[in-house]
Each structure stands twice: as structure tokens, then as C-alpha cells.
Structure 1
Amino acid sequence: MSRPSLVSVVADDLLERIVAGEFAEGDAVPTEFELAERHGVSRMTVREAIKGLIAQNVVAVVRGRGTYVQPVRQWTALEPVLRATGGADAAVQLIELRRMFEAEAAALAAGRRDDEHLAALDADLERMRAAARAGDVTAFVEADIAFHDVILRASGNVLLPVLFESLRRFLRETRAQTSRVPLIQEHAIDRHAAVLDALRSGDSAASRAAMLEHMDQTEADLRRYVL
């Protein structure tokens, strides 16, 4: 895994402090000098980090006064919004979003997948089984996410993988919570196998239905065993 850049480290730390409530809506964030001192980086690095948060509308510059936290409802990037929302609501809403997009991605993938896609899905499913047997939650989650990534790519819609890239960290966090429960792992493996069978058949309707059943099972498990 690549090491985060200094710019992303500074931006992520400031965002985390905002999400944690250290700086509330309308509050001024620390100056470039203060942030540079905190992280041991140059003011240029801090300036680039702030630019990233400005682009997401998390903060805004008031000329001559400083940089201030914007209301969450005005933020324009998915990951910061999800981190600010947090908790059960965000986890359930993520499944709702996945249900809308991934079911149609599966339907598209059924008619567009090739042997390479199917081989990758087979491999990811086997990795899930092996990780479950070994009790390796991290490996299980990574294989789970990889399985869905293959479907997004197989859909042939180049926008879908880009959309879900911004959700990746939050998805990984929620899957890590649910995948600690062995029964949820069993359910996930069964539902992934059903999705793969539908995709292998080339039946778009069956693939859509299998993915919807997977999302329904995921939400039911989340509500019953985690929330």
C-alpha cells in the first residue's frame, strides 16, 4: 500500500478534527503557520492541503479574516460527508446507495463480462473462503471489496468505479465491523457465490436480483448483529 503524501496527511488530520467537533461550523481553522508547526511540514504543503478541502467545500476562505468551516450540508465530496454523518445512519445509507448502483452494475456486467472477469471473481470468492477459515477479517474484507470492484469494471461503465473509489475507505470500515461476525461472513460468501453464478449465466435480470438479495442480506445482518 502506498504511503500517503504529506498533503493528504495534513488534509486528513484537519478533516478529522472538524468531524470530531474540534472546529464547528463557522469556526476558523488554524493558520498555515500553526498547521505547518503541528505536522512539521512547509507552509506550501499546508496550503495545498487547504486547497483540497476548499475544493470539497469543507472550508472556505474569507479574504482578510481566515479559513472557516462550512456547514456539512454544503460539502460536495462523498467521503467527508460520510465521515461527518457517521454512525448507523451513514452505514444504512451506504447500503441504500450500493443497492441502487451495484444492482444495475451487476445487470450490465452479466452481458459484458468476459472470462478474465469471471476468473477474477472466482479467485476473490476463494480468497473470502480462505480468509474466513483462517479468521483473517482484514483479508476477508479486501477480497470482498475486490469482488465488487471486478463487477463495477465488468459493467463497462467507466463512471461506476470512479464513483465508488470515493467510498472505498468508508466501505472498508463498515465491512470490517460486520465481517467480525462469523455468521455474517457465511452469509456474504453465500450471496457472493449466488451473484457469481448469475453473472456466469449471462442473465441480466438474475444478476440484478442476486445483487439486490446480497444488499438486502447485508442490511439485515448490519441491523441485527452490529447496530
Structure 2
Amino acid sequence: MLGLYFLFAIPPLLLGFYAQWKVKSSFSAMSKIPARMSGAEAARRMLDNGGLQSVAIEQVSGHLSDHYDPRAKVLRLSQDVYGGRSMAALGVACHEAGHAFQDAKGYAPLVIRNAAVPAANFGSGTGMVLLMIGGLLSFKPLILIGVALFALVVFFQLVNLPVEFDASARAKHELVAQGMIAGNEEQYISKVLNAAALTYVAATLQSVMTLLYYLYVIFGDRR
């Protein structure tokens, strides 16, 4: 049974490690490509052009800790992105600004994702505990409850994919449309955003494969 688990778990785990390496290496490489403005300036310009003057931009600590807070309506950018005048900084900053656009327009996948956060957090914690205990005891009813809870995590991950892809698409469109980058510079932005997208794909694959493994444990030996 342990060998079967590794068969399900190892491929997405390896993809996850590769995705983390890819996003770090791409950000580092694109940080060396200069831009006309800082990440904070690009995000501010994108937000203002979209009528989102009320969305604030703050600098926070950490590396690649950038995010948009829909409750506070604040864009929080790490130091390298906030003040960085590079293609990497522009890509990350405007990607997060893309989430602010989604929030303002009531983008359906984002609304669903935000609503699913509490359930996904509960499913990730309690569901995994029940799955592990049920697996150790070979107690299928407990595994089944864990699977039902962990399915909430998979749902969250699946809904998150279009949210992240759409934010990146909005970022690239606005950067070119507003003349913050030239058309031939979009390739640099894409390298950073595509690498980041791979991390979301890897996380989704990991959760899906985990769910499939436990479904196989429950139903795989039935005739």
C-alpha cells in the first residue's frame, strides 16, 4: 500500500519542487531585466486606470510574499517587488493588481474561491488527519469522511486556477495597453507569470492525486 501511495504522490511532488525552483530562478533572472518604473508605480498606474484609486498599496516584509487583501482592499508587495525596477517586479505587482480588478468586478471564480477558503482550510486540516488515522487503522468509514472533507481542498484548488490565470492575463494586457512595457517585453513578464502559474498547477495536481489515492483505497478493491 505504501508503494501505491508513492506512485500517486511522487510525480506531483517532483513537479512541485520543480515549480518552486522555476519560479525562484525566473524571478531572479527577470529581476536583472530593467523596467521603466517600479512594481509599486506600475500597480498604482494599473489600479488608477481601472478606477481603483481607493485600493492602497503597502510594502511588506518577506520574499515573494506579495498578495491582494480583498477584505482591506490593499495590495501588499514585498520589498523586491515594491521598489524593484525590473520586469519581475512589474509582472508580480500587476498580477496582484489583477486580483483587485477581479474583486472590483465581482469575478465569479474569485467570489467562489473566497467563499470556499474556510471550508478548504477545515478540509485541509481535519480531512488530512482523518485520512491518515483511517489509513493507519485501515478503517474505511473514517477514510471516507476524510475524503469528503479533503474534496473541499481539491475544489478550492481547481477554482483557484482560473483566478490566477485571469489575473496574469489582466496584468499582461494592462502593461502593454498602458505602455508600461513594449510589446516585445511581454515575453519577460510571461516568464515570471508562467513560472508562478506552474506552482498553482502543481499544488492542484498534488491535491487531486491525494484524493484519487484515497478513493482507490476505498473503492479500488471492489469487484
Q: Which has the higher contact order (CA 8 A, sep 6+)?
A: 2
Q: TM-score, normalised by structure 2?
A: 0.27
Normalised to the residue count of structure 1, the TM-score between the two structures is: 0.27
